[in-house]
Amino acid sequence: MSAPLRVGNASGFYGDRFSAVREMLTGGPLDVLTGDYLAELTMLILGRDRMKDPARGYAKTFLRQMEENLGLAKDKGVRIVANAGGLNPAGLADALRELAAKLGVEVKIAHVEGDDLIARADEFGFEKPLTANAYLGAWGIAECLKAGADVVVTGRVTDASVIVGPAAAHFGWARDDYDALAGAVAAGHVIECGAQATGGNYAFFREQPIGVPGFPIAEIHADGSSVITKHPDTGGVVNTGTVTAQLLYEITGARYANPDVTARFDTLSLSDDGPDRVRISGVRGEAPPPTLKVCLNRLGGFRNETTFVLTGLDIEEKAALVREQLEGALAKRPPAEVRWTLARTDHADADTEERASALLHVAVKDNDPKIAGRAFSGAAIELALASYPGFHVTAPPSDASPFGVYSAAFVDAAAVPHVAVLPDGSKVDIAPASETLELSEVDEPALPEPLQADKVRRVPLGLVVGARSGDKGGNANLGVWVRSEEAWRWLVHRLTVGEFRRLLPETEGLPVTRHLLPNLWAMNFVVEGILGDGVASQARFDPQAKALGEWLRARELDVPEALL
């Protein structure tokens, strides 16, 4: 088959643009439309839904999108693959069948299951999780599509698998076609986060109009190479920068492991293929690791917060006073964890009250909802007439809310069932990979000759460096890249781990690893533990590290004038 498979994506997270499904179906030709609805936090949310009603646990938004668009997709011959099944893919498949019957649309619906390990938590040594889901691969999806499914819904598969599965089924790839599979993983990794590949959250957004970005498309070829693009006349932009940014998003090093293949991101190349078209080629693949990652979520207790507004003079002294008062009021039974943060957003001689004000944030956690609830927020508000001048807060007192704790585990892939439930209801067991390779880091590549610079200027790093950052549990990933060989020769010697720590003092004392990707003129930093127990625990300002890269770009250092 010489024609590429056109795979579009219409969701990067649970809560993404609702209209994207229709936009993608009406904007131009597609063969497959995918959606990624799951994240570590989403699994916790769905777990709480399942506690209230065992019949739920899937992304309800997807069902509403199908109510509007299932007939349209059928008419256009577009097959749909989404991981919206969450904790209950069988339940979502049944709901879709009921919906199709109500709409009078004849579609074949299949699902993939086996990832949910909650009933086997004791067997695997998991400590009382709310959710426990292994990341499955693409072959169950491929089996469903080969059986004629028009819609395939899954539970927890890797984000790229919803793209890899359709490509593997369409081109008839074998389990050991590692290079082709790795190419599809790269394409899937680029488009699975939706508009982030088409100009969303892009460091150099000022260089071209972004508007409301369209959603991305991967034109995947039989050898696994692809072209990343978007429908014509949609907002945003696709260029080597937007694709590089997404390739760096939430990875670690050069080896990007999936259940079916480990993709070598240090082998891929990007090239322009016309307006809003970027080709990904040369991706090499290796056998996958013998274990599967498991996403574990448990309820961690209850949390609450109050933000005091401090205005005008004596900001530090005002903060010290209210902190002393509140801690004194809570001394009889203090919350288990109390975290104070003073944000000096105030300006001297400010022309508005807001610009004259700083924010003192206090967050508490405890296993007792009463201690973290009104006992805390009530004590804070009781200080209103007895504390610093100008006392006020940003929100009224509130009850405590539950928070979650994320952790990852790894289990033998052979111990996890992977089942394709075909449109006729028959089940096909998907065997684990017969060939595996333990995951390891690549040797650091040889560094290029340093750039010789006679003149430098003190400027923000972001004038020459792009960045994209995000979370993996309690760790933050921060990828940076430049756009010329000269800039790479400077950056790779300048932005060492030590310099990274200096520029971002919050990383001091935490393990930081630098991974180099010379083909992309890029590097990725992994900061372990900076996000505590993950986004659901809300341990840090910017709990998903989405803006960590922009903070780095705002830091100033001496940059060769030749690069500016």
Residue 45 near residue 402, CB atoms below 8 Å: no
Q: Are residues 282 and 323 in the same domain?
A: no
DSSP classification of residue 157: B
> Looking at the structure, do residues 259 and 305 belong to the same domain, yes or no?
no
User: Is pLDDT above 90 for 386?
Assistant: yes
476 vs 251: CA distance, rounded Å: 10
* Element of type H or E holding 419: strand 419-421
Helix axes 139-146, 161-171, angle to 10 degrees: 50
Which of 490, 551, 555 has its CA nearest to residue 523?
Answer: 490
Range of the domain at 152: 5-295+408-429
Q: For 403-472, give the DSSP string.
A: EEEEEEEEEEGGGS--EEE-TTS-EEEPPPPSS-----PPPPPPPPPPPP-S-EEEEEGGGT-EEEEEEE
pLDDT number for residue 532: 87
Which tokens is 155 given?
């539970």
CB 220 within 8 A of CB 293: no
- Residues 137, 25 within the same domain: yes
> Is 376 domain-assigned?
yes
**Domain-located, residue 434:** no
Shared-domain flag, residues 305 and 284: no
pLDDT band at 2 (very low <50, low <70, confident <90, very high): confident
In a domain, 534, yes or no: yes
The number of CA neighbours under 13 Å toward the Cβ of 118 is 16
* Mean predicted lDDT score pLDDT of the chain: 96
Round to whole Å and give the CA distance between 186 and 266: 11
Q: How confident is the model at residue 428 (pLDDT cuts 50, 70, 90)?
A: very high
What is the rounded distance in angstroms from the CA atom of residue 295 to the CA atom of residue 246?
22
Average pLDDT over residues 427-446: 95
Q: Are 502 and 543 in contact (CB under 8 A)?
A: no
Please tell me the predicted confidence (pLDDT) of residue 118: 97
Q: What is the pLDDT of residue 287?
A: 98
- The pLDDT value recorded for residue 1 is 54
The share of the chain scoring above pLDDT 90, in percent, equals 95
Quick check: is 435 in a domain? no
159 and 218 in a single domain? The answer is: yes
Say what angle helices 161-171 and 178-191 make with each other, to 10 degrees.
Answer: 140
List, for residues 20-34, the tens digit of each pLDDT value: 999 999 999 999 999
Q: Retrieve residue 236's tokens.
A: 């945003």
> Cα dihedral angle (101, 105, 107, 109), rounded to 10 degrees?
-40
Mean pLDDT of 426-431: 98
Closest CA to 85 of 402, 420, 407: 420
Question: What's the rounded mean pLDDT across residues 63-69?
Answer: 98
pLDDT band with cut points at 50, 70 and 90 for residue 394:
very high
> To 10 degrees, the CA torsion angle through 408, 471, 24, 8?
-60
Cβ atoms of residues 534 and 262 within 8 Å:
no
Encoded amino acid at 175, one letter? R
- One domain, residues 397 and 424: no
* Average pLDDT score over residue span 181-209: 97
The three-state secondary structure class of 161 is helix
Helix or strand holding residue 235 (H, E):
none
Same domain, 207 and 321: no
Least confident range from 3-7, 184-188, 358-362, 535-539: namely: 535-539
Q: What is the mean pLDDT of residues 510-519?
A: 97
Same domain, yes or no: 398 and 417: no
Confidence band of 537 (pLDDT split at 50, 70, 90) = confident
Is residue 108 domain-resident?
Answer: yes
Mean pLDDT over 29-51 rounds to 93
Task: Give residue 540's pLDDT.
Answer: 80
Task: Reply yes or no on whether the pLDDT at 503 is more than 90.
Answer: yes
- Extract the tokens encoding 180: 């082709």
- Computed over its alpha carbons, how large is the radius of gyration of the chain? 25
- pLDDT tens for 99-158 read 999 999 999 999 999 999 999 999 999 989 999 999 999 999 999 999 999 999 999 999
Instruction: Say if residue 377's pLDDT is above 90.
Output: yes
Q: Could you tell me if residue 436 is inside a domain?
A: no
Three-state SS at 335: coil
Q: Residue 373: which CATH number?
A: 3.30.70.380
Spatial CA neighbour of 239 closest among 283, 274, 189, 214: 274
Using CA atoms, how far apart are residues 398 and 196, in angstroms rounded to an integer? 35
For 72-109, how does the pLDDT look when each residue is reduced to its tens digit (9 = 90+)?
Answer: 999 999 999 999 999 999 999 999 999 999 999 999 99
Q: How far is CA 533 from the centre of its chain?
A: 16
Domains contained in the chain, number? 3
Residue 414 sits in the same domain as residue 543: no
The structure tokens listed for 323 are 């902190």
In a domain, 437, yes or no: no
268 and 157 in one domain? yes
Do 131 and 148 belong to one domain? yes
Question: Do residue 156 and residue 273 come from a single domain?
Answer: yes
Position 439 in a domain: no
